[in-house]
Amino acid sequence: MYKSALARLQLETDLRRAIERFEFRLFYQPIVSLTSGSIIGFEALLRWQHPERGLLNPTDFIPLAQETGLIVKIGNWVLHEACRQMQAWRVHYRSNSLKKISVNLSVKQFSQPDLIEQIGQILHSTGLDACCLALEITESVIVENGDVATTTLSQLRNMGIELSIDDFGTGYSSLGCLHSFPISVLKIDRSFINPIAANSRNLEIIEIIVTLAHKLGMDVIAEGVETKQQLTFLRNLRCEYVQGYFFSPPLDSLAAAALITANLQW
Ligand code: C2E
Ligand code: MG
Ligand code: MG
């Protein structure tokens, strides 16, 4: 117990210093349109270049960042950096196909009273058009924020920002309310996509989620696509977008830029 309490305290101390020491990095994973076959955007994914422990994944530190509230400051950095990078790419590549940067928003960040102003300020200072930003929230963000969630989501949507539900199917969802939120995209969790070959019940669940989304006028992004077979299945279901190791793992900004230049088609 003593050892684990000490490790936690150490992690918290390191985390507090990480922003000032510029230890956070963003990796970018492409999102591919199945209509055009090309990359339409990226999801920004946080990494921590820890001075002793090397490159850490979000699962190693985001839970503690959430518990301690540090996620608000870190999340703000993520938003700013992702918008800055996207605007730089848009200016540099003048590419019309590069449309969206997706950023994950945690429950704590979402319930900040000044969230709207903060995001407005970030868009203003980076010069990124609001319609190029997509925010990913989980079902728990809506459930835990009640009526305030509806107001905040509407304000974000009115600014022109796209809203998507991340990890759809894994959380507690109020299906009856889904249509009343200004959500444009459902992201099917990769736990449904990954065992596609192994489990035919997953195929049915995926089909149901795609149908649900389409009936509600939403688009679908399938996460965790790793094989050609999964891609074909999703194409046949008329799923709009796909993301996963089959196309590319999350990349640092240089490698992501090389991928934009390569202009691959799937
Ligand atoms: P997520 O938003 O659902 O992101 C997708 C995760 O799936 C990423 O893990 C990505 O690397 C992984 N992934 C993508 N394609 C595949 C695939 O084909 N196979 C497999 N096995 N995995 C795949 P990552 O980067 O470790 O992020 C984990 C989670 O951490 C994210 O899940 C998100 O919930 C959270 N996260 C990441 N960055 C941020 C951030 O800036 N803010 C907040 N609040 N949460 C973040
Ligand atoms: Mg996400
Ligand atoms: Mg997800």
Q: What is the pLDDT of residues 176-204, one digit of tens each?
A: 778 888 999 999 999 999 876 556 778 88
Which domains can be identified in the chain, with CATH numbers? 2-262 (3.20.20.450)
Q: Which ligand is nearest to the CA of 45?
A: 1
| 191 CA from centroid of ligand 1 (Å) | 12
What are the structure tokens assigned to 199, written together? 């489990």
Question: Angle, nearest 10°, between helix axes 71-93 and 253-262?
Answer: 30
Which ranges of 169-252 would DSSP assign to H, the alpha helix?
Answer: 175-178, 190-193, 200-215, 228-236
| 241 CA from centroid of ligand 3 (Å) | 13
| 1 CA from centroid of ligand 3 (Å) | 32
**Burial (Cβ within 10 Å: 0-12, 13-18, ≥19) of residue 103:** buried
For the CA of 250, the closest atom of ligand 1 is: 11
Residues 144, 171: Cα–Cα separation, whole Å: 12
Residues 153, 160: Cα–Cα separation, whole Å: 11
Ligand 1 lining (C-beta closer than 6 Å) = 29, 45-46, 57-59, 62, 75, 78, 104, 106, 136, 166-167, 190, 223-226, 244-245, 250
| 2 CA from centroid of ligand 1 (Å) | 31
| 1 CA from centroid of ligand 2 (Å) | 33
Q: Which ligand is nearest to the CA of 82?
A: 1
Q: Which ligand is nearest to the CA of 135?
A: 2
**Nearest CA, atom 11, ligand 1:** 250
Q: What is the pLDDT of residue 198?
A: 59
Query: What residues of the chain score a pLDDT lower than 70?
Result: 196-199
| 179 CA from centroid of ligand 2 (Å) | 21
For the CA of 138, the closest atom of ligand 1 is: 34
Mutate to test the pocket of ligand 1, among 62, 108, 170 (most ligand atoms within 8 A of CB): 62
> SS3 of 37, please?
coil
Q: What is the pLDDT of residue 160?
A: 98
What is the residue whose two structure tokens read 């994944």? 57
Half-sphere exposure of 39 (CA within 13 A, CB side): 23
**Nearest CA, atom 43, ligand 1:** 104
| 266 CA from centroid of ligand 1 (Å) | 22
Q: Which of 11, 22, 73 is nearest to 47 (CA)?
A: 22
Q: What is the pLDDT of residues 220-259, one digit of tens each?
A: 999 999 999 999 999 999 999 999 999 999 999 999 999 9
Tell how many helices (H) and how many strands (E) occur in the chain: 11, 9
**Nearest CA, atom 15, ligand 1:** 244
